[in-house]
Structure 1
Amino acid sequence: MKGILCDIGGVLYEGDKLISGAVEAIDYLKGKYKIRFLSNSSRNTPENIYKKLKNFGFNIEENEIFTALLAIKKYLIDNNKKAYIIATDEAKEYLKNIKGEGAVVVADAYTNFSYEALNTAFRKIIKGAEFLATNKNRYFKENDELSLDAGAFVAALEYSTEKKAEIFGKPSCKFFTEAINDMNLNKKEVIMIGDDMESDIIGAKKCGIKTVLVKIGKFKESDLKKANPDFVVDSIAKIMKIL
């Protein structure tokens, strides 16, 4: 093995709380392997996620961070498409100067989800706009509570428009592959570390990538009935025992 794909939220921190031992674990992994940090979160820009990790004390580089929001921005620029965006104000600002037309982006809008926003997106999609989404995560964990994630609202629009969204973050094989290619490796040479059974573990396994499930973040014991990760650890602080 030569490379690591590592989820961020729930693995390295939860909300504003650092996961105990995470900084030391990443130092250990970076001493042995190439690494890319993957996140479906689109509430924050890649730059601000990087700053948050640095403030926690992680020794990382900004170009090691791959996010679904970054993937969508690249797609919009490459295809000359400007989008109607349901997202946080920060994410809207990140995407606002892209020229073109013809797309709808649904991201982690948090408190910006509303009937008006969803109905506007619905109308644009049924008139032919491309339907793009950062992720279809069911929920996220914050302040020790689970909250609805973008997936619930993406599913609502898929149901009403009868169109499937193109997903740009995990569990998209394209998203995993872009991060792997950036390390000049292949999928047999990397392992994915994550807390989300669906987007991190099942998604990576479907792409032929080995996996480590951490029993923290949004993990639930019932998740172990859904798939068989290659390794299971209590938290990333225990990663040295298996890698």
Structure 2
Amino acid sequence: MNTSIIRGVLCDIGGVLYEGDTPYPGAVEAVARLKARYPVRFLTNTTQKTGAEVVAKLQRMGFAITASEVITALDVTKAYLTERQSRATFLLTDAAEAFFDDLPDAPCRCVVVGDAQENFTYTRFNEAFRTLMEGGELLAAAKNRYFKDHGGRLSMDAGGFVAALEYASGKTATVIGKPSSAFYRLACAQMGITPEAAVMIGDDVESDVGGAQAAGLQGILVETGKYAPADLARGITPDAVFPSLAAISL
């Protein structure tokens, strides 16, 4: 790993900073150390919480993180729809869907899929399918395979549901959040640096490490959150592997 070229840090949130409602040991202090040396942006594919809700949770845990330092998949999805002057058929939770209520009135040209939980019903899936078959664009706010929930067990994420709509409609989803290179480039641009001068820290070898490396960043894998030893056999080689965020020295 080349630490001499690092000018900014991107960091995943769930599984890196905390699990459930509890910060990992030393994570609060590690964030403070990183922020004292580099500009830092915290990235999350969560589609269950808005950026404001994510920041509020982090601050309750003791992290000195502000709203301007957090970029969520929902934020970028809303910007995408606004730029294209489109409303959407949503497969999201009710709370996440309400985040888009202030979109300008416009034709519905997109389907947006995130972690809809109980809203993954046949009726809603079929509505989304019909929008796609009538010319709509499929947007995956996130396409992760699974996540680690509050009980410490793995749960299915939005990726499998996105794949179902891809199969049924014959369309390929545009991924808005990680591992989209555009998502990583946006975060780097906010810090005023090139991707080559940034490093991404995460617990997902595909989305965090592989996605970052494809965008030109270095990628650090931490052995917390959803990490499993088998991740290192998936054909992605992290630039470095550390036991936790607290163990990282940059």
Give the shorter-chain TM-score range.
over 0.9
Percent identical among aligned pairs is: 45
Determine the C-alpha separation between the residues in 1 that align with 2:85 and 2:230: 43
In the TM superposition, structure 1's runs of 4+ consecutive aligned residues that sit over 4 Å from their partners are: none
Q: Tell me the equivalent position of 1:38.
A: 43
Q: Which runs of 5+ in 2 are unaligned?
A: 1-5
Q: Tell me the equivalent position of 2:3.
A: none
Determine the C-alpha separation between the residues in 2 that align with 1:19 and 1:159: 39
CA deviation after TM superposition for structure 1 residue 21, in Å: 1.1
Aligned residues: 241
Q: Tell me the equivalent position of 2:116.
A: 109
Q: Give the SS at the match of 2:82.
A: helix
Q: Tell me the equivalent position of 2:56.
A: 51
Determine the C-alpha separation between the residues in 2 that align with 1:212 and 1:164: 29
Task: After superposing the two structures, state which structure 1 stretch, 38-47 or 13-22, moved more.
Answer: 13-22
Q: Which runs of 5+ in 1 are unaligned?
A: none
Q: Which runs of structure 2 are paired with 1:208-227 in the superposition (5 Å)?
A: 208-226=216-234, 227=236
CA deviation after TM superposition for structure 1 residue 78, in Å: 1.5
CA deviation after TM superposition for structure 1 residue 80, in Å: 1.1
Q: Tell me the equivalent position of 1:232.
A: 241
Q: Say whether residues 1:100 and 2:106 are aligned partners.
A: yes
Determine the C-alpha separation between the residues in 2 that align with 1:17 and 1:54: 12
Amino acid at match of 1:148: M
Determine the C-alpha separation between the residues in 2 that align with 1:167 and 1:30: 29
CA deviation after TM superposition for structure 1 residue 16, in Å: 1.8
Q: Say whether residues 1:133 and 2:111 are aligned partners.
A: no
Amino acid at match of 2:171: K
CA deviation after TM superposition for structure 1 residue 137, in Å: 0.4
Task: After superposing the two structures, state which structure 1 stretch, 164-173 or 97-106, moved more.
Answer: 97-106
Q: Tell me the equivalent position of 1:85.
A: 90
CA deviation after TM superposition for structure 1 residue 156, in Å: 0.3
Determine the C-alpha separation between the residues in 1 that align with 2:94 and 2:19: 21
CA offset digits 1:102-142 (Å, max 9, x no partner): 21111111222111111110111011111111111000101
Determine the C-alpha separation between the residues in 2 that align with 1:190 and 1:236: 16
